[in-house]
Structure 1
Amino acid sequence: MPRGEAAYRLMPPPDTVNGPQVYRIGVLDVLSVRVFQEEELSFETLAVDAAGTINFPLVGEVQAAGKTPIELSDELEAGLGSRFIRNPQVVVGVVSSAGQRVTVDGSVAEPGVYEIAGNSSLLESIARAQGTTNVASEKEVIIFRMIDGQRYGALFDLRQIREGKAPDPEVLGGDRIVVGLSGVKSAYQDFLRAAPLLNVFTRF
């Protein structure tokens, strides 16, 4: 399992990511939409419904969930530009995210599934679970993540991160964090049992 520099290459801290993290809009997210020089078509908040769509003036119902803000901007520009506005300029932003969740498990005070808005880090995610327990092995913390359809894991030392001796890795929606020796062993064994089905045994 990757640890040290290899772990950070797989799951880097936010300031070492090459380019901005690609965010895909989810159901019940709240967006902002601004159309240049078209105040009546600009909205500070516009909610994505449970079906993943928004209803936009002059364009109608548009699928938003699963698209990046840039992709949705392009689609709205195409819809507005086809008949109504010449060379429209649309900017879509995410005001709040409802669909990004991370699972924190193992030797933490309150294991569970927690919502995150935008970028988060390992320390922030552990704090959401009210910190580690007295018996936690903080030098063995795994982040599991699906990358291009494959399940990966990387091992981090929470003590070094707290002391500023190692970067705080970024945590993304869908990640699973397992803290402590007993939790790590259990999660790792669960992964190995599932690995033949996932065809990612060699990823560790």
Structure 2
Amino acid sequence: MCALSLLLSACASQPPQPVLPASDSVASLLGRAEYRVGPSDLLAVSVFQVKDLDREVRVNNAGQISLPLIGTVDAAGRTIGELEGEIASRYGARYLQNPQISVFVKELVSQRITVGGAVGKPGIFPVNSRVTLVQAIALAQGFTDVASHRNVFVFRTVDGQRQFARFDVAAIEAGEQTDPELQGEDVVMVDSSAGKQSLKTLVQLTPFLTVWRVYQ
């Protein structure tokens, strides 16, 4: 948990990031952040009307996949659209005219979410499908008796910049707010009545939010 302590200390020592008004839609904001392929993900690559080139390939530890004719392609860190465009460009350069490429992620092996604070079983949880904030807390065996349902923080790194938002899970469970979808490498921290000063500082400085603004 040392890494979490360092993360919280860093966030507490800096002013909170500006955020979007609560009236903005969670789905509309998080929808802008497309899934990016990671090591060990299993991909299904298909070339329209060229069945011999269709493959199921797993991203290796170097973040690469190997495909017929074009060889090694860098996959990790790319969105599905970016990867489809790269493969189409490689096939179109020498082998096919206007190739139509489709990439489908069959297994999201690379994804993991960290849940800490006042939960039953803090830890790092691998996920192979979409996971919401409430589902992530359930993976950690739910809230403890001293947990603050109204003070749940999600930390995320976007383009090297650390971001965070404060969520009211009691309102989410009551159907008053949307349950946000998490991304791989997100860190969820649940505050408590005896929480660390770093979290209490964020509680004091951060209004209740359902989304945060992503800065380039």
Q: State if a TM-score over 0.5 links the two structures.
A: yes
Instruction: Render the CA deviation track for 1:89-120: whole Å, top value 9, x for unaligned.
Output: 11112111122211100110100011223432
Tell me if structure 2 keeps the 8 A contact 1:144–1:153: yes
The amino acid that maps onto 2:122 is: P
Aligned residues of 2:146 and 2:193 also touching (Cα < 8 A): no
SS of alignment partner, residue 46 of structure 2:
strand
> SS state of the match for residue 25, structure 1?
coil
1:59-107 Cα deviation digits (max 9, x unpaired): 0111111111111111111221222222211111211112221110011
Matched residue type, 1:146: T
How do 1:153-168 and structure 2 match up within 5 A? 153-168=164-179
> In the alignment, which of 131, 147, 170 is matched to residue 142 of structure 2?
131
Letter in 1 for 2:185: G
Name the amino acid aligned to 1:58. Answer: L
The aligned residue for residue 41 of structure 1 is 53
- State yes or no: 1:119 paired with 2:130: yes
Aligned twin of 2:117: 106
Distance 2:112 2:23 in 1: 21
One of 96, 99, 104 as aligned partner of 1:85? 96
Residue 188 (str. 1) matches residue 195 (str. 2): no
1:199 corresponding residue in structure 2? none
- For 1:108 and 1:22, the matched residues in 2 are separated by 29
In the superposition, the TM-score normalised over structure 1's length comes to 0.80
Instruction: Give the distance between the partners of 2:40 and 2:103, measured in 1 at CA.
Output: 15
Identify which range, 96-105 or 15-24, moves more after superposition: 15-24
Correspondence for 1:55: 66
Q: Is the 8 A contact 2:153 2:164 kept in 1?
A: yes
Amino acid at match of 2:45: V
CA 172–8 in structure 1, closer or farther in 2 if over 3 Å, else same: farther
Aligned residues: 188
Structure 1 position 16 matched with structure 2 position 31: no
Quickly say closer, same or farther: Cα 1:19–1:137, change in 2 above 3 A: closer
Task: Name the stretch that deviates more: 182-191 or 74-83.
Answer: 182-191
Report matched runs for 1:134-145 at 5 Å.
134-145=145-156
TM-score normalized by the length of structure 2: 0.76
Partner of residue 37, structure 2:
25
5+ residue gaps, structure 2, are 1-15, 203-214
Between the aligned partners of 1:18 and 1:102, the Cα distance in structure 2 is: 16
Q: Please give the alpha-carbon distance, in whole angstroms, between the structure 2 residues aligned to 1:58 and 1:190.
A: 56
Alpha-carbon deviation of 1:5?
7.3
Tell me if structure 2 keeps the 8 A contact 1:141–1:156.
yes
Give, in whole Å, the separation in 2 of the partners of 1:78 and 1:179.
Answer: 46
**8 Å contact from structure 2 (residues 48, 99) kept in 1:** yes
Range that drifts further, 30-39 or 18-27 = 18-27
What secondary structure does 2:148 align onto? coil
CA contact (8 A) 2:120 2:143 kept: yes
- Asked whether the 8 Å contact 2:66–2:73 carries over to 1, the reply is yes
